[in-house]
Amino acid sequence: MTATRWIDLRSDTVTRPTAAMRAAMHAAEVGDDVYGDDPSVNRLQAHAADRLGFEAALWFASGTQSNLAALMSHCGRGDEVICGQDAHTYRYEQGGAAVLGSIQPQPIAHQPDGSLALADIAAAIKPDDLHFARTRLLALENTIGGKVLPPAYVREACAFAQSRGLATHLDGARLMNAVVASAQDERDAVAGFDSASLCLSKGLGAPAGSLLLGSRTLIANARRWRKALGGGLRQAGFYAAAGLYALEHHVARLSEDHANATRLAAGLTALGLAVEPVQTNIVFLHLSEEDLPALRAQLQTGGVLASLGPRTRLVTHLDISRQQVEQVLAVFSDYYAHRRQTASTHSSQDPS
């Protein structure tokens, strides 16, 4: 089986540029972005800043890099950021804020809806005392584990942080999924944040790239950190053209991914599997450890790529059609039908 035939549910980072996006990349005007004269990069940054209501924006090669530059622009050595235990900036970015930015993370537990309780945030803020790190920043993530943070909560959290003298950063890697799922205005979704990142290479389908948005001063600082982090690319306009195409053509269609995830979850639930409620394009299901080896083999035979575990994440995206969702469900159905048949046969042959 060739790689192009796989139904890849591992992540929405596996999307490939569409033909129209490739054409936009081929036609891109390019320059040297380190000098600030790549017209395609500049066009993308201006478009995103205006669209989301920020003074400026900066293109990065990855969301990890944009988040790190944001934290380093908000915090100095020995400062502290409050974030969630499951936040990407804390859990999945190799501790970059601490390792490279000398920033202390203060993680706190998420509520069931993905939010951080204001009381927990308040308790985590350090007193103005030379014994403690200086708490400077509150970082939220939307979506978080596929969940959309309630808009009213986001407004309240940002206002609370501001009242306590904290800056706010939004890891909006899947921000547009949150916007589409909650039918929010894009500007409203980021209102109150001093900075926000937006990944272009997940559900939006660009091959690479993430934007950091904020004030002109913050973005100027982030540009310096981007260079220090090795993120100063030259003819980045090819990537920027893909990102601009994604913002102009791939936002509204995220609803298709959400609908496919809902259908996938419903089909798996009908098979008797424990599936968590779905809000966007991410499905979490719980599997028995003993089923994992055989189920993994069955999926591979059926042309399905998935990172199986006791809590398995399946992600729908631009390259997953409704027909392919039905194919995935058929593979799961075949596996559990065979397992039931085998169990029944063994039961009937049991002499006891």
Q: What's the whole-number mean pLDDT along residues 41-69? A: 97
The answer as to whether 6 is a domain residue is no
Q: Do residues 88 and 232 both lie within one domain?
A: yes
Q: What percent of the chain has pLDDT over 70?
A: 96
Q: What's the whole-number mean pLDDT along residues 209-215? A: 98
Q: Do residues 301 and 234 both lie within one domain?
A: no
Q: Do residues 165 and 279 both lie within one domain?
A: no
The answer as to whether 11 is a domain residue is no
Most distant CA atoms of the chain, gap in Å = 80
- CA 51, CA 54: separation in Å to the nearest integer? 8
The answer as to whether 192 is a domain residue is yes
Q: Do residues 144 and 190 both lie within one domain?
A: yes
For the sheet with 274-275, list strands across it.
Answer: 274-275, 282-286, 311-315
- CA 89, CA 319: separation in Å to the nearest integer? 27
Q: Do residues 342 and 211 both lie within one domain?
A: no
Q: Do residues 107 and 145 both lie within one domain?
A: yes
The pLDDT value recorded for residue 1 is 41
Residue 286, SS3 per DSSP? strand
The pLDDT value recorded for residue 247 is 98
The pLDDT value recorded for residue 341 is 79
Statement: residue 141 has pLDDT above 90: yes
The answer as to whether 316 is a domain residue is yes
Total domain count for the chain? 2
Q: Do residues 332 and 219 both lie within one domain?
A: no
Q: What's the whole-number mean pLDDT along residues 68-95? A: 95
Residue-wise DSSP of 109-151: PPPTTS---HHHHHHHSPPS-TTSPEEEEEEEESSBTTBPPPH
The pLDDT value recorded for residue 94 is 87
Go through 312-347 and write b for each residue having 16 or more CB atoms within 10 A of its CB, e for each that does not. bbbbbbbbbeeebbeebbebbeebbeeeeeeeeeee
Q: Do residues 54 and 24 both lie within one domain?
A: yes
**pLDDT level of residue 3 (50, 70, 90 thresholds):** very low
Q: Do residues 118 and 184 both lie within one domain?
A: yes
Helical (H) or strand (E) element with 171: strand 167-172
Statement: residue 202 has pLDDT above 50: yes
Residue 143 preceded by cis peptide, ω within 30:
yes
The answer as to whether 215 is a domain residue is yes
- CATH for 316: 3.90.1150.10
- CA 297, CA 54: separation in Å to the nearest integer? 48
Single residue among 249, 280, 304 that ends a domain in this structure: 249
Single residue among 201, 233, 249 that ends a domain in this structure: 249
Q: Do residues 167 and 275 both lie within one domain?
A: no
**pLDDT level of residue 338 (50, 70, 90 thresholds):** confident
The answer as to whether 5 is a domain residue is no
The answer as to whether 233 is a domain residue is yes
Single residue among 249, 278, 299 that ends a domain in this structure: 249
**pLDDT level of residue 2 (50, 70, 90 thresholds):** very low
Full domain range(s) for residue 229: 16-249
What tens digit of pLDDT does each residue of 142-194 get?
Answer: 999 999 999 999 999 999 999 999 999 999 999 999 999 999 999 999 999 99
The answer as to whether 341 is a domain residue is yes
**pLDDT level of residue 347 (50, 70, 90 thresholds):** low
Q: What's the whole-number mean pLDDT along residues 335-340? A: 87
The pLDDT value recorded for residue 5 is 79
Statement: residue 348 has pLDDT above 90: no
Q: Do residues 25 and 135 both lie within one domain?
A: yes
Strands 195-199 and 56-60: unpaired
Q: What's the whole-number mean pLDDT along residues 278-283? A: 98
CA-nearest of 9, 41, 46, 52 to 176 is: 52
- CATH for 142: 3.40.640.10
Q: Do residues 149 and 264 both lie within one domain?
A: no
Q: What's the whole-number mean pLDDT along residues 232-237? A: 94
Mean pLDDT of all residues in the chain?
95
